[in-house]
Structure 1
Amino acid sequence: MKLLYYQENNFGDRLNPWLWEKLLPGVIDDDETTAFVGIGTLINDKLPRKTKKALLRVIFSTGVGYGQGMPQLDDSYKIYCLRGPLSAQALNVSAKLAVTDGAVLIRKLFNYHSQKVYKFSYMPHYELAGIGWSLVCERLGFGYIDPRWSIEKVLLSISQTEVLFAEAMHGAIIADALRVPWVPIITNPTILQFKWQDWCQSIGVEYKPSYIKRLHHPRQKRDILYPVRLARDWARQQESKSQLLHIAQTIQPTLSSDITIENLTQEMYERLQEFKQDFEAGLFL
């Protein structure tokens, strides 16, 4: 059974092999005749082409989004659960299939009762992460969490903060699972709000993002224009610093209720056991 996920150096995508190898030992291999479609916004018209060798496609906690439309569901699709109600509506399937994002199962694997190190931390989108945000956070006394770091380092860093500012959606998902209040951030209009709304509805909270300007990272090249760029970059970072500080001072962070996240974790775990029973019964041979 081949695991399908976006092959990017991004925390949310790299959670897939890390998480499923621990929860489903001996299940994932290189057999492309069955596809396991897990964490990510993977359900769209491109999915059949990405799994063209698959006779069966297991959908487990996946979200709808991107692409130009929906795949034509047929007998090759076995849906155990989806990221949220908007995904179920888009696919025109039972609302009972809408649980939440599979990353909630981190609660079964990670001890999240860590000593707090930072009052606030910021985790940008992986495409926008870099030295600029690291410098801004350092000057504010905030933690900086890079989604390109190792899974273990990101998990520990999130658990050590009191409030997470997150443009990276799986930063917020993990924060909520680890009982860390979070604030969604948008610095780039290309952020897909549908997937955030889908997940937020699954955990019973309202999606209320805070908007700040995109921060362009400093160039390291030293030439005749270096002093000019240095002054420009300092001004940009000061502006980002002011915007983050304003959010910290004025925005109430979000957190789902303890009972909601525990119920969703248990429901997701039960769906996982259902899949494991089907696998052991030879359903995917």
Structure 2
Amino acid sequence: MKLFYFQFPNGISNFGDNLNLWMWKRLLPGVFDQDKTTIFVGIGTLLNNRIPKTDKTVVFGSGVGYGKGLPKIDESWKIYCVRGQLSAKALGVPSELAVTDSAVLIRRLYQQASSKVNQFAYMPHIDHAIAGDTAWKLICEQAGIAYIDPRWPIEQVLSAMSQTEILLAEAMHGAIIADALRVPWIPILTSTRMLPFKWQDWCSSIDIEYKPQYVMPDSKLYPPGPGVRSSLRYSINCVKQAPQRFFKAFWEGESNKMAIQLADIAKTSKPILSSESRIEQLTVELEERLEQFKQDVASRCFHHSA
């Protein structure tokens, strides 16, 4: 069985995607190999028409999104759970399969730091971390906020996050892990290029309404408000020509404005945290479904006959 997750080209690391390697090898030791006849689809917004066709597909806590369509689900699929009700509805599967993002299982693997070092920290979406690069560190320094780069190694991100009192997160798995580790968080949106569906899907599972705070450097570059899908031609053309150089220079030029916005959000916005009873209930439910998967593996349900 092969572990399937999104991998950036050129060896770029992304916290949300690479959680798969870190977490599943600890929860499911010895289960995965390079046999592509069965794939395990875990952490990520992976349920779309990009999933490779295989003999058997296992889904555990993934969400619908990206791609240009939905996957074709048939009898070769075994879905233990999906990220939320929106994913279940989109796929046309029973609502009982909607639990939460499987990354929540990190609660059983990572020991929270005993002391806090930073009052606030900001973690951008991976696309913006790549495009803005060092500009984000400058913005955070000006705002008096710690910076957490989603490209850092898993342990470094987890350590920085657990030492933070309140996380400002545009990276959704930053917010998911923060909530799982009981670190209050504030959702940030710096571009309408982001995908609100996946946030709404996950937030519904923890009984929270997704209401991001906006850090918009320029309305001409980023149209205000969610759901706007037009008037991005200018930024898209710039991205095609030289995305990192363009955005890095732009954000550095706008760093003071964005730093003021970020600092104001940190000081005035009410942090979010799901209830202890709800997050524990979801964790237990994920554990029960993981145990069922282990039993299915042991009984050779996914064994490929030559």
> What is the TM-score of this pair, normalised by structure 1?
0.90
Structure 2 contact 215–261 (Cα < 8 Å) conserved: yes
Query: Which of the residues 159, 162, 166 maps onto 1:159?
Result: 162
Query: Which of the residues 215, 236, 247 maps onto 2:265?
Result: 247
Partner AA of 1:156 in structure 2: S
- For 1:188-203, list aligned pairs within 5 A: 188-203=191-206
Q: How far is the alpha carbon of 1:127 from its aligned partner?
A: 1.8
Q: Distance in 2 between matches of 1:211 and 1:141?
A: 18
- For 1:13-162, list aligned pairs within 5 A: 13-47=17-51, 50=52, 52=53, 54-129=54-129, 130-162=133-165
Matched pairs, number: 268
Structure 2 contact 62–82 (Cα < 8 Å) conserved: yes
Q: Distance in 2 between matches of 1:112 and 1:80?
A: 28
Q: Which runs of 4+ in 1 moved over 6 A?
A: none
CA distance 1:242–1:66, shift in 2 (3 Å) = same
* Map of 1:238 onto structure 2: 256
* Map of 2:302 onto structure 1: 284
Partner AA of 2:254 in structure 1: R
CA distance 1:260–1:273, shift in 2 (3 Å) = same
Q: Distance in 1 between matches of 2:166 and 2:251?
A: 27
Q: How far is the alpha carbon of 1:234 from its aligned partner?
A: 5.8
CA distance 1:214–1:13, shift in 2 (3 Å) = farther
- For 1:203-214, list aligned pairs within 5 A: 203-213=206-216
Partner AA of 1:278 in structure 2: D
Query: Quick check: 1:175 aligned with 2:178?
Result: yes
* Structure 1 stretches lacking a partner, 5+ long: 217-228
Structure 2 contact 142–256 (Cα < 8 Å) conserved: no
CA RMSD of aligned residues (A): 1.7
CA distance 1:140–1:274, shift in 2 (3 Å) = same
Structure 1 contact 82–100 (Cα < 8 Å) conserved: yes
Partner AA of 1:38 in structure 2: G
* Structure 2 stretches lacking a partner, 5+ long: 222-247
Structure 1 contact 188–214 (Cα < 8 Å) conserved: no
* Map of 2:224 onto structure 1: none
Q: Sequence identity, in percent?
A: 56
* Map of 2:238 onto structure 1: none
